[in-house]
Amino acid sequence: MNCPRCQSTQIIKYGHTHYGKPRFRCQDCGRQFVEQATRQPIDETTRQLIDKLLLERLALAAIARVTGVSQRWLQLYVNQKFHQIPKAVEVTSKKKVD
Whether residue 34 contacts residue 25, with contact meaning beta carbons closer than 8 Å, is answered with: no
Q: Which of 47, 44, 78, 45 is nearest to 61 (CA)?
A: 78
Q: Which of 26, 50, 63, 69 binds Zn ion (CB under 5 A)?
A: 26
Strands 11-16 and 22-26 come out as: antiparallel
Stretch that binds Zn ion, among 29-37, 43-51, 69-77, 83-91 (CB under 5 A): 29-37
The answer to whether residue 25 forms part of the interface with Zn ion (CB under 5 A) is: no
The answer to whether residue 9 forms part of the interface with Zn ion (CB under 5 A) is: no
The answer to whether residue 66 forms part of the interface with Zn ion (CB under 5 A) is: no
Q: Which of 17, 21, 23, 29 binds Zn ion (CB under 5 A)?
A: 29
Distance, CA of 21 to CA of 83 (rounded, Å): 28
Q: Considering CB under 5 A, how many residues would be counted as binding Zn ion?
A: 8
The answer to whether residue 8 forms part of the interface with Zn ion (CB under 5 A) is: yes
**Within 13 A of 1's CA, how many CA atoms are on the CB side?**
16
Provide the binding-site residues for Zn ion, judged by CB under 5 A.
3, 5-6, 8, 26, 28-29, 31
